[in-house]
Copies of this chain bind each other. A is one copy, B any other.
Amino acid sequence: MSSEPDRPLRADALRNRRRLLLAAEEVFAEQGTQASTEEVARRAGVAVGTVFRHFPTKADLLRALMKGLLQQLVDDADALVARGDPGTALFEFFTRLVERTTANRTVVSLLAAEGIDVPIAGALGPLTSAVQELLRRGQRAGAIRAEVRTDEVMALLVGACQGALYGGWSPDLRRRTLGIMFAGMTAPPV
C-alpha cells in the first residue's frame, strides 16, 4: 500500500519498514515535519538506528512517506474515475481530500516541508493524471466549464488543503468554501 522498498527485504525488515512509515505518518501529522527522528522510532517501537538503516536520511523518510500518501490519493482518484458519477466525481475527490487533510496534516505538511527538496512537481505527476481524467469526465458530463485546465484544478486543490489545514475549517466552512470553488468551475467566468 504505502511506498514499496527498492529491493526485496527479509520479512522482519519489511515489517519494520511498514511500521516506520505508519509511525512517521502519525508523528509528522501531529507535530509537523520538525518532529524528531527519535520520536518516530519510539512510536514505531524500534531504535533510531533502524530508522536510518531503512531511510538513510530524514528527507528520505519524508520522501517515502509522501510517495505512499500520494499513491493513496491516486488510488482514490482512480476509483472515482472507474466508479464515480462523472458530473460530481471531481468535486467528490476535492471534498474527500480536504476532509482528510483537516484531520491529518501530513500531506500538506509534506508539501510545505521547507527543508526537504522533494521534486514535488515530478512526484505529483500520477496524481495530476488522475485529476486530469476526473476533470475531463466532469467536462464531458457538462458539469464543469470547458476552459478549466488541470493546472488550475491542482492549484485549487493544494490551496484548499493548505487553507483547511492552517485555517482549521469547520465542516460547515469547508462546505461553503469548496462550494465557491465548485461554482467557479461550473459557472461561466466573471
- Give the B-binding residues of A (Cβ under 8 A): 31-32, 34, 91, 109, 111-112, 114-115, 120, 148-149, 151-152, 154-156, 158-164, 166-167, 169, 173, 176-177, 179-190
Q: Chain B contacts of A184 at CB under 8 A?
A: 179-185, 187
Residues of B within 8 A of A185 (CB): 180, 183-184
Contact status B173-A163, CB under 8 Å: no
- The reply to whether B155 and A114 contact each other, CB–CB distance below 8 Å, is no
Measured CA separation A94–B165 after assembly (Å): 20
> Could you jot down 13 A-B contacts, CB within 8 Å?
A34-B115, A112-B162, A112-B166, A149-B176, A152-B173, A152-B177, A155-B163, A156-B180, A159-B162, A162-B162, A162-B166, A183-B188, A186-B187
A160 (CB) vs chain B CBs: closest residue: B159
User: What chain B residues lie within 8 Å of A176 (beta carbons)?
Assistant: 149, 151-152
> Bound complex: CA of A155 vs CA of B171, how far in Å?
13
9 cross-chain pairs, A with B, having the tightest CB-CB distances, nearest first:
A159-B163, A184-B184, A187-B187, A162-B162, A159-B159, A180-B184, A32-B114, A183-B184, A155-B177
| Contact residues in B for A158 (Cβ distance below 8 Å) | 162-163, 166-167
Pairwise interchain contact B181-A189, C-beta atoms closer than 8 A: no
Q: In the docked arrangement, what's the CA distance between A114 and B152, Å? A: 27
Contact B177 A183 (CB under 8 A): no
Contacts of A114 in B (CB 8 A): 31-32, 34, 109
**Whole-angstrom CA separation of A158 from B108 in the bound complex:** 14
- Nearest-Cβ distance from residue A54 to partner chain B, whole angstroms: 16
A156 contacts B151, C-beta separation under 8 Å: no
CA distance A111 to B181 in the complex (A): 22
